[in-house]
């Protein structure tokens, strides 16, 4: 249960103000069809985080526990620093030229691609390596992603102004730093 709750909380916080959350806002504004967008985000996130979680679980089979502890600690601390750098949505991420596939397919494709190498995907790899609970981590990170993105799809830009982004990023950075220190020291 710890892996699920930590994964949910970390990804929900990390996703606020992230590039993929901005992408959800762009898709909602462009298509004005929230259900296919929400389901597309869910499908893309499950696929992306399942792969990331599998990579994290695999890493534990090829790296010894002592080395893994240091790698995870350093990775969580690096993620803390990364959380303090705001994301921006590139023009290429706005799904130009893809609407002919439909809202759902467009959302799945652009969300899956935008999530590649993103903070939440890397966090999923690290959490799966940290906890021996693949399904709990993937379920938790997916829920965290949905908790952060669904309100944006349904409420648009109004949802993004409820919580100060800087406070969320600093809180996320502190949590990642704490996990990094815990991995190294415990």
pLDDT tens figures, 160-171: 556 566 776 677
Which pLDDT score is estimated for 160? 54
Q: Rg (Cα) of the chain, in Å, rounded?
A: 16
Range scoring the smallest mean pLDDT among 16-30, 55-69, 109-123: 16-30
First to last CA, the chain: 20
Residue 161, token pair as written in the block: 């102004």
The rounded percent of the chain whose pLDDT value lies above 70 is 86
Residue 179, token pair as written in the block: 């996990």
Total-model pTM = 0.79
What SS3 class is residue 79? helix
Q: How far is CA 78 from CA 49, 52, 164, 173, 176, in A?
A: 20, 18, 22, 9, 8
pLDDT digits over 70-108, tens only?
888 888 888 788 778 765 655 554 445 555 688 999 999
| pLDDT value at 123 more than 50 | yes
Which pLDDT score is estimated for 95? 45
């Amino acid at each position: 249960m710890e892996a699920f709750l930590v994964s949910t909380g970390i990804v929900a916080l990390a996703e606020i103000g992230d590039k993929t959350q901005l992408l959800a806002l762009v898709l909602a504004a462009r298509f004005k069809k929230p259900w296919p967008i929400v389901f597309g985000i869910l499908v893309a996130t499950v696929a992306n985080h399942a792969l990331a979680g599998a990579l994290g679980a695999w890493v534990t089979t090829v790296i010894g526990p002592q080395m893994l502890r240091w790698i995870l600690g350093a990775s969580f601390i690096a993620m803390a620093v990364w959380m303090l750098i705001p994301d921006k949505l590139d023009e290429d991420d706005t799904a130009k030229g893809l609407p002919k596939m439909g809202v759902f397919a467009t959302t799945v494709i652009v969300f899956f691609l935008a999530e590649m190498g993103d903070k939440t995907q890397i966090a999923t790899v690290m959490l799966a390596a940290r906890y021996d609970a693949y399904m709990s981590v993937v379920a938790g990170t997916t829920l965290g992603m949905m908790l952060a993105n669904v309100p944006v799809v349904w409420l648009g830009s109004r949802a993004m102004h409820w919580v100060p982004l800087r406070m969320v990023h600093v809180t996320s950075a502190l949590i990642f730093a704490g996990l990094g220190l815990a991995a190294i020291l415990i």
